Chain A
Amino acid sequence: MQSVLADWLPRGIASVFDSPLILFATLLLVGYACGEALTRLRLPRMTGYIVLGLVLGDSVLGWLGPEQRESLRLFVDVSLSLLLLELGQRLDLQWMRRERWLWMMAIGEIAFTWLLSFTALTLFGFTHVESAFLGAIVIATSPAVVMYMARAEAADGQVSNRVLTLATLNSLAAFACATALQPFLHYERAGGDLGEIAHMLWQPTYRLTGSLMLGIAVFLLFRFAARWYGKPTVAQFVLAIGMVVLTVGIAHALDLSVLCAMLVIGMLVKNADRSRHIRHIDFGVTSEVLCVILFIVAGASAHFTGAPAIVSAAVVLIAARFAAKLVPIVAIAPLTPLGLRRAGLVALGLMPLSGFTALVLLDPAAKAFEDNGRLIAVFLTAVALLEIVGPLLVQFAFRRARESHGADA
């Protein structure tokens, strides 16, 4: 952005955009205004943030490039982590023990999504290993989008609760599958050199177990501190923020997954803190401020290719993904209190696909796709399309289910 402005702004004024604080403030104010404009059209606020990010980002103007995005990384990570912590707390294992068909729904939609995406990607020309890896990424519903939308709509009911539960489970499954498949991707890339495989196996094993251990360790520390502080809201709020930032910091330092660690902490807070030392914290306004930046950066990171052939292929991939989520959920719905119509809404609510999650998961394997530009463009265009459409679908699902009660609803 500063390079464009520098051409016509007096020297010294353009340089103010070098400051991450001014960049943060500008994006916050402009982004919130865009979000507000969309709510007046009864559209999701976050779509305003994402569209602004898309326009400013690599796909259109290129003003919010990798360098600027990197300077906002702390805000983005903390924001994403707050949403993940909250989402993890929505996974109620006691409920799942009683409502066992929910497990079947989760397993069905994860397996079907992987299988159909794998088939579609193979038909597009990816190798089997590449298709398996990308198929694993496609499993994940964007945890940030569904959690943000559930909060914005103050959604409460069977559709929203199931969307959040299934999103948590499929995000964890996607992380585990994608991480486990990385060695095979590298193995294929290395031309089947078995000498490399032992080295390659170490990395995913380390990331999986390390992220899990980090989540457990932070939870134990969190619970110990919460017990010592007692229940005052402010103390628990400060503690929660501290734990989130600590987790992000350690995960970065040790190259572990923030997504996995935060979801594990959230799940443990909900399911393993039996004496309820950790109280439920609503991050509310704090989280909203950070989410503006999160979703602008998410939009800016999207890679959209406008060529009709690529867009068409991306739409086919999206359709396959929707069918894969819809079929098992609708098939199991009659055995649950959900009913067929609302089962369809649950499948719609699971459609958002996170650009962040995709990029985070793709990152360690990025080299494997270097000479596969056209095909990866199909995949990333599908991700970008779902980033725009995803929040609208979630909003539609929650509202049609009559579960939206928020100020924006």
Chain B
Amino acid sequence: MSLDFAASRPLTLGVELELQCLNTRDYDLSTTARDLLAQLAKLPCEGEVKPEITQSMIELNTGVHDRHDTLLANLVALRDVMVRKAELLNVRIAGGGTHPFQMWSDRRIFEGERYEMLWKKFGYLAKQFTVFGLHVHVGCADGDEAVRLVHLMSEHVPAFVALSAASPFYQDQDTRFASSRLTAINAFPLSGTMPFVTTWSEFASYYEDMKRIGVIESMKDFYWDIRPKPEFGTIELRVCDTPLTIEKAAALAAYAQTLVHAMRTDRSLMPTEYAYAAYRHNRFNAARYGLSGEWVDVKGGATCDLGEMVCRTIDGLWKQAEEIGTTVPLQALYRSAAARRSDADVLRAIYAETQSFSDVAHRQADIWETSSATGAARRAPTAR
């Protein structure tokens, strides 16, 4: 049976956010995801809350949206209800790509067949995978378009890494990376990039081969930075750290949507294998230095830093942004890129002030819970 691509409405948006469950004692990760999930079984808004590989993680999924503003409203509603329920359990929820001082050996695998299988298969990597990412889905008309967009978007993967970087601390240490989370993903055998196939039938054939020889069981086994998601009819960008705020998460989704819109409009843009020549170099620099990292443009051979690369890209997208209503989030990202300032810098500044990773985690929760335009979460009455 061939792998079918379920077509979806082009440019529709959806977001998955992996979040940290913290105790209020010392702000280490808690093992309360199960309790929180039970509280969130029925949601008063669109979306879903799911378990993740360890019991200290929880995943929030939005519904499908055409526009950034409705996506943001959905995220705020989900965040607020999650925070209110967590309060009843004495748990805090936080963004950020890593927890600053948790120890991977303390983590517990979530009950469930798939998670048990991953623990058996990957050993300690499964527990080290307690890192927190933002996955952005953008709808595609068909499989061929999805394959084309995956390749074209790859050029922008380092920009997304740098813009979202929010994991400078890991296992009680400053890693000197802006995004140390990516390193945890690099260890998996099927991480990296999709092979250079140019049509959906080629991809389906590759997929079937991998399945036949027993390397994979499903699409979930590909831990690529960006991959097609045939069951949703989307491409899924998986390199972003979970940002510190809801707004940043929605803005990154809006940036991806605008880029896809531009790529769909300009049909002359075609993927080339050569575009991957500097991929790992650029991606490493983005993870290591964030927006100040060097970016090599393989097409022109020039170099600049990623902040400049993002500003230049956004400068070329204002028209498309206006068409799909993403001007405001792009302006926010532009300011961040121009200042070369990501969430990793925010976290380092908090540590410089407090000299305590526990305080950093505490502040991560404060920022996450109160960041929205409404700021409703912490002030809302405690309704059940």
A residues adjacent to B (C-beta < 8 A): 89-90, 92, 94-95, 98-100, 154, 156-158, 161, 230-232, 276, 279-280, 282, 336-337, 402-403, 405
Contact = CB atoms under 8 A, between A and B. Distances in A.
Contacts of A100: 382
Contacts of A99: 87-88, 90, 382
A106 to B, nearest CB: 15
Contacts, number: 57
Contacts of A405: 31, 106, 108
Contacts of A89: 25
A158 B30 CA distance: 11
A156 B23 contact: yes
A337 B355 contact: no
A161 B90 contact: yes
Nearest to A90: B25
A337 B39 contact: yes
10 contacts: A89-B25, A95-B90, A99-B88, A99-B90, A158-B89, A230-B355, A276-B362, A280-B358, A337-B89, A405-B106
A337 B26 CA distance: 23
Nearest to B359: A276
Interface residues of B, number: 25
B88 A98 contact: yes
Contacts of B31: 156-157, 403, 405
B354 interface: yes
Contacts of B87: 95, 98-99
**Chief secondary structure at chain A's binding surface:** loop
- Considering residues A95, A154, A156, A337, which has the most beta carbons from chain B within 10 angstroms of its beta carbon? A156
Interface of B: 23-26, 30-32, 34-35, 38-39, 85, 87-90, 106, 108, 354-356, 358-359, 362, 382
Given A231-B355, A279-B356, A279-B358, A156 B32 contact: yes
Nearest to B381: A98
Nearest to A89: B25
Nearest to B36: A337
Nearest to A280: B26
Contacts of B25: 89-90, 280
B362 to A, nearest CB: 7
A107 to B, nearest CB: 19
A337 B24 contact: no
Nearest to B26: A280
B51 to A, nearest CB: 14
B90 A92 contact: yes
A95 B359 CA distance: 19
A282 B358 CA distance: 13
A369 to B, nearest CB: 40
A280 B358 CA distance: 8
Given A92-B90, A230-B355, A337 B362 contact: no
A92 B356 CA distance: 21
Given A92-B24, A156-B32, A337-B38, 14 more contacts: A92-B90, A95-B87, A98-B87, A99-B90, A157-B31, A158-B89, A230-B355, A231-B355, A231-B356, A276-B358, A276-B362, A280-B358, A402-B34, A405-B108
A58 B14 CA distance: 69
Q: Which 3 A-B pairs have the closest CB atoms?
A: A280-B26, A95-B90, A231-B355
Nearest to A339: B38
Nearest to B25: A280
A282 B103 CA distance: 15
A98 B32 contact: no
Contacts of A154: 106
